Structure 1
Amino acid sequence: MTRGNPSSPSAAKPGPFRSLGGWLERPDDIQPCLCGDDSADVIVVGAGFAGLCTALELTALGAKVIVLEQEFAGFGASGRNAGYLGGGQGLEYELFLKRVGHEQARSIIRFYDEGVGYVERKLGELGIDCDYNPSGIIRAGVHPSQEKRLRESMELGVSLGSPATFLDHAQMRARGIPPAFLFGCHIPGGGTLNPGKYVLGLRRAAIRAGVRLYENTPLLGYSEGPVIECKTPQGSARAPHLVFATNAYTPQLGLLRDKVMPIKVSAIETRPLSPAQLASLGWPNREGIMTSHLTMESHRLTAHNTLVLTTKRISYVYGSKTPNEPDHVAYQQLAIALHQRFPTLRGLDIQHCWSGYISLAFDALPVVGETGKQQNIHYTAGCSGHGVATQSFIGHLLAERIGGIEHPLLAALRHKTPSLLPEPLQWCAMTLALGAAHQLDSFTNRRVHKAG
């Protein structure tokens, strides 16, 4: 990477694109595809956090479970995200608080916070080593203009039951947080982990528990009824219950097209930092840091001493498509952010870049429920960038629901999700909204650069 002005595109040269994401490789023990016919009590489509946790919880209740996965477990968003295990602080409260009211909002926030504890318990119960660092998370500002919004959001989250503490400039420096981050709120629960190791640990646990995982097995279609039949390229599966745990890919399967949309997010990972480079940062507790931009940046150190930066620029693809393609503009902007936030690391190479899709509803809340004449087709989507905790915990709630128990937190998630627009209005609206957010964030970053 060349040296130069950190705000200049010529100052950053992102590394090669990884189509699998940056956290995992294709498993050596890929499970056979479904050939012929099979049956179970429940069929789960999608082998990410939600699908695997649902399968594990159902198996623990005595159910026979089939999981259909188009690629391999973790290939989608679960293996591509930033690896933040976070709760209810930092949600877009203004998008849903008036719609659902304070009482239901408090229960929704509790769902997010309890998801953190659920994952922590599962790591111990299943013996999953995924480099978990329970340091909490910091939402930070990089310019004084961000402080008011950050404080107000934190205080609203606290009033809804999610703890956090505001850190002023002196307190940030006392914690050793890199100086580009001026102030922030520390969220005590959760931390960072390696999402690839986590999802592959769930995969191993599911196989060990007797879940019939069929990889390289896309769902071609399904028929409704008391017993649902799922068609795949070389076979079929039948069960009284079907669970869609496909998140951003759900609209392409003909479900939730009017409720959730896939949003493309991106990441870069640097080469390992030298001891001198690590020392130049400080950052002793290695808290994951998310900025309070409209389209946030996230910054974290990994267990192997690399830096991972994510998002910065997000986009919507016409027709809710999810092409596994690079986003070179996003990588370039993330590389510039690397130079701006960590000037002592000028010249540090980026080893690779990747992109993936989160699932977003207009109110940024989870979308869960049932459909079909028999109400035996279950779905979960709308992680909105908070998928590690929420999409893991939802597996527990869905398993109970299929077993006949409606958990109060699942009931709290049931609400009227705003409807999306038809194309091309949806693409126009998202392009304008995201473009405006990017422009405002760029203005903030230019002010930071001038001040520096």
Structure 2
Amino acid sequence: MSVTLDTYRPLGGWVEKPDNPQPQLEAEVCADVIIVGAGFAGLSTALELAAHGAKVIVLEREFAGFGASGRNAGYLAGALGLEFDLFLKRVGREQAKKIVGFYDEGVAYVERKFGEYGIDCDYNASGIIRAGVHPSQEGKLREGMKTGIELGSPAQFLDQAEMRARGIPPAFLFGAYAQRGGTLDPGKYVMGLRRAALQAGVRVYENTALLSYAEGEIVKVQTARGSASAPFLVLATNAYTPQLGLLGGKVVPLRVSAIETEPLSEAQLAALGWPRREGIVTAHWTMESHRLTARNTLVLTTKRLHYVYGSQTPNVPDNAAYRELEVALHDRFPTLRDLAIRSCWSGYVSLAFDALPVVGETGAQRNVFYTAGCSGHGVGTQSLMGHLLAERIRGTEHPLLSALRHKTPSMLPEPLRWCAVNSALGMTNMLDGRVNRKVRAAAR
């Protein structure tokens, strides 16, 4: 069954509007720290600060988890997904080792927080497999795995026999297996952070968009019906940051899409195999991701990325992307060709040209902090970022935060940016399309 308008979910596939919506900001309030954005980064920063007695305000344009935190595929992954070719020569091997350490520490950090905050988010600590679907992908996959191991991120190559022994579906021929991490329900995770923040005394104002902010020793932010002041401001707004007048030349928002099937029957699950339910990402230039959820559905994401002129982020369906994902579903799982699509959705990640996080501070007082550029790996990285930013605000720079400081490549202004980004995306689509045609030809 094909994707239809009835299957599109403007809130994403993991969250609903909370049954205890927090009030809009409708007064003038003060705090020790103001955080804009109630996703993984914003809520984690708030929780870390509140644990040390800080008075924290969080402003959220919609509701907690509305953005990328509630729309992603739910992979808690370390450094396996890094594209070393984009940054290794620029930062050098020693700094690259520290960056890899940041990504892998993000996994351990989130796993600790499940217990600390009492969050049940269907976490399956299965590890992650980066898999090839055609023999031509093996060289690139092995090279990336080798570099990751040299930089301190352990992984194991699985040949075709080992993949079949693990019960991995046969479309995935070989893979690099990282034992750390796994899959989770990102909606349950972000809502668990929201619940913990409210219990910790963090004041969360939902349906409260930031209109402007004024720098100074005390930063003042303006919303439609109120204002807030604090010595520190944190913009945990990721893909939406350029619309606030910051990082417009450093990151671009890319629209990422997902489809979810109806639940598989017991017979379909048994025939599929996949007993450990490892999260699988492919070795395409624009990866596909494939996973089974706790509700026995299949979720597929990415496949096609889109950049909207002017770094805009309209919350609209992307029917072309959903059709491509449905083709990928049939290519990788031909026995499930009749499985209906339950829902589809889209959201935005932010990408720097070196695919590394963009974190730092700005303003004359250096008291306006920002974090963006998660490049689709935000579950672990942006959660850990909360800890690093909280320490920085309290006066200590963590070594992992220092490791992330580097010169992010600058981007061209519009309309050259639109041309450059979409040309690059078009090239990756062409290369991936060639691989997929080879796979279909071999299957025939």
Question: Do the aligned partners of 2:124 and 2:183 also contact (CA within 8 Å) in 1?
Answer: yes
Q: Which residue of 2 aligns with 1:215?
A: 206
Q: Which residue of 2 aligns with 1:304?
A: 295
Please tell me the root mean square deviation across aligned C-alpha atoms, in Å. Answer: 0.6
Give per-residue Cα distances to partners, 1:372-398, cap 9 Å, x unaligned.
Answer: 000000000000011000000000000
Give per-residue Cα distances to partners, 1:81-125, cap 9 Å, x unaligned.
Answer: 000000012201011001100000000000000000000000011
* 1:428 aligns to 2:419 (yes or no): yes
* Structure 1: distance between partners of 2:354 and 2:427: 18
Q: Which residue of 2 aligns with 1:48?
A: 39
Of 154, 157, 160, the residue aligned with 2:148 is 157
Question: Do the aligned partners of 1:264 and 1:357 also contact (CA within 8 Å) in 2?
Answer: yes
* Structure 2: distance between partners of 1:425 and 1:34: 39
Of 38, 46, 65, the residue aligned with 1:74 is 65
SS at match of 2:229: strand
Matching of residues 4-19 of structure 1 within 5 Å: 12-13=2-3, 16-19=7-10
Q: Which residue of 2 aligns with 1:371?
A: 362
How big is the shift at 1:441?
0.5
* Structure 2: distance between partners of 1:165 and 1:171: 11
* Structure 2: distance between partners of 1:162 and 1:13: 38
Of 45, 56, 80, the residue aligned with 1:89 is 80
Q: Which residue of 2 aligns with 1:439?
A: 430
SS at match of 2:108: helix
Matching of residues 307-318 of structure 1 within 5 Å: 307-318=298-309
* Structure 2: distance between partners of 1:407 and 1:37: 33
Q: Which residue of 2 aligns with 1:240?
A: 231
Question: Do the aligned partners of 2:262 and 2:342 also contact (CA within 8 Å) in 1?
Answer: yes
Q: Which residue of 2 aligns with 1:143?
A: 134
Matching of residues 217-232 of structure 1 within 5 Å: 217-232=208-223
* 1:412 aligns to 2:403 (yes or no): yes
How big is the shift at 1:343?
1.1
Q: Which residue of 2 aligns with 1:107?
A: 98
* Structure 2: distance between partners of 1:21 and 1:144: 34
Q: Write out the 4+ residue segments of structure 1 that deviate beyond 6 Å after TM superposition.
A: none
Give per-residue Cα distances to partners, 1:273-331, cap 9 Å, x unaligned.
Answer: 00011111100000000000000000000001000000000011100000001110100
Amino acid corresponding to residue 352 of structure 1 in structure 2: S
* Structure 2: distance between partners of 1:303 and 1:391: 24
Q: Which residue of 1 aligns with 2:338?
A: 347
Question: Do the aligned partners of 1:34 and 1:235 also contact (CA within 8 Å) in 2?
Answer: yes
Q: TM-score, normalised by structure 2?
A: 0.99
SS at match of 1:358: strand
* 1:402 aligns to 2:390 (yes or no): no
Question: Do the aligned partners of 1:57 and 1:396 also contact (CA within 8 Å) in 2?
Answer: yes
* Structure 2: distance between partners of 1:424 and 1:35: 39
* Structure 2: distance between partners of 1:172 and 1:227: 57
Amino acid corresponding to residue 99 of structure 1 in structure 2: R
Q: TM-score, normalised by structure 1?
A: 0.97
SS at match of 2:171: coil
SS at match of 2:299: strand
* Structure 2: distance between partners of 1:284 and 1:109: 29
In structure 1, the gaps of 5 or more residues are 2-11
* Structure 1: distance between partners of 2:271 and 2:304: 27
How big is the shift at 1:13?
3.7
How big is the shift at 1:346?
1.5
- Percent of pairs identical after alignment? 72
* Structure 2: distance between partners of 1:89 and 1:437: 20
Q: Which residue of 2 aligns with 1:293?
A: 284
Q: Which residue of 1 aligns with 2:164?
A: 173
How big is the shift at 1:344?
1.2
SS at match of 2:256: strand
Question: Do the aligned partners of 1:59 and 1:211 also contact (CA within 8 Å) in 2?
Answer: yes
Amino acid corresponding to residue 59 of structure 1 in structure 2: A
* Structure 2: distance between partners of 1:254 and 1:123: 35
* 1:116 aligns to 2:135 (yes or no): no
Amino acid corresponding to residue 331 of structure 1 in structure 2: Y
Amino acid corresponding to residue 363 of structure 2 in structure 1: G
* Structure 1: distance between partners of 2:359 and 2:147: 25
In structure 2, the gaps of 5 or more residues are none
